[in-house]
Structures are given as structure tokens and as C-alpha cells.
């Protein structure tokens, strides 16, 4: 049986998801292309489309602040690596907070899709 390293595209995508919700956004910023587009579907305060590393890192800071650093990818369910895309399904846990205290632990599946051009993710959708 041969063991091979995962493709660089998968390693970049996993590193991005692992840093979501953490205050060390500099680590994520290093992974982003200058032309990155990050989409968060929905109709709540953190939803939207973010262009460029600055907008994406501001969004990630807002996510970390809103969840008080509790947003965490704790289990990989699956991933699929294609020529131009990587899709990841991860279990995410976070603590929903209400001021002044916590309101409960949330655990949910989240899917992420990364489109690549060269070695940097160009589009990430969660």
C-alpha cells in the first residue's frame, strides 16, 4: 500500500477551515489569493460576499468575535479533490452567545467549496 501526501489544494482548504473562527486571521490571510472571493449564504449578519483578502479577513474577525472564538472545525466528514475544486464537509461546533452569557453549544455539518487557479484558493464558499 502506498501512502501519498494530500494534494496542496486540499491542504490549503483544510488549513483555511481549521482557522475559521479564530483570532489568528493572519494565518488565513497567507492562504488567500489577492483576487479571492468568499461567499457566506444566508440572510443573517455574517452572510455576504467578500472580495479580496482585506474584506475576507475582516469577515473572519467578525466571525471570531461573534462566536467568541468558539467556532471550530473539529471533525472532517469528507472531502473531494478535483482538478480545479476542493469540497470539504466538516463538523463545526460553536457556542451561540447572548449577552451577557452563553446560550448553548451548536454542532452542525458545514460544506465548503474552494475553486483554485494555481496554488491559491480563488473562491471559497461556506
Is 0.85 topped by the overall pTM?
A: no
Q: What burial letters (b/e) apply to 98-113, b meaning 16+ CB within 10 Å?
A: eeeeeeeeeeeeeebb
Phi, psi of 66 (to 5 degrees): -65, -40
Residue 39, SS3 per DSSP: strand
Chain-centre distance for alpha carbon 11: 13
CATH classification of 8-125, choosing from 3.10.450.50, 3.40.50.720, 3.40.50.300, 3.10.20.740?
3.10.450.50
**Structure confidence by residue, pLDDT tens digits, 5-39:** 557 888 888 888 888 888 888 888 888 888 888 88
Q: What angle do CA 41, 96, 18 make, to 5 degrees?
A: 65
Q: If we measure between CA atoms, which residue out of 87, 62, 89 comes closest to residue 74?
A: 89
Amino acid at each position: 500500500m502506498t501512502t501519498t501526501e494530500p494534494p496542496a489544494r486540499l491542504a490549503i482548504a483544510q488549513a483555511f477551515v481549521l482557522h475559521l473562527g479564530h483570532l489568528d486571521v493572519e494565518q488565513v490571510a497567507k492562504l488567500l489569493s489577492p483576487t479571492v472571493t468568499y461567499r457566506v449564504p444566508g440572510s443573517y449578519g455574517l452572510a455576504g460576499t467578500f472580495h479580496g483578502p482585506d474584506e475576507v479577513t475582516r469577515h473572519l474577525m467578525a466571525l471570531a468575535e461573534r462566536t467568541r472564538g468558539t467556532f471550530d472545525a473539529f471533525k472532517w466528514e469528507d472531502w473531494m479533490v478535483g482538478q480545479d475544486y476542493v469540497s470539504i464537509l466538516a463538523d463545526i461546533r460553536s457556542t451561540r452567545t447572548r449577552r451577557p452569557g452563553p446560550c448553548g453549544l451548536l454542532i452542525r455539518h458545514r460544506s465548503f467549496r474552494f475553486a483554485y487557479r494555481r496554488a491559491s484558493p480563488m473562491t471559497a464558499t461556506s
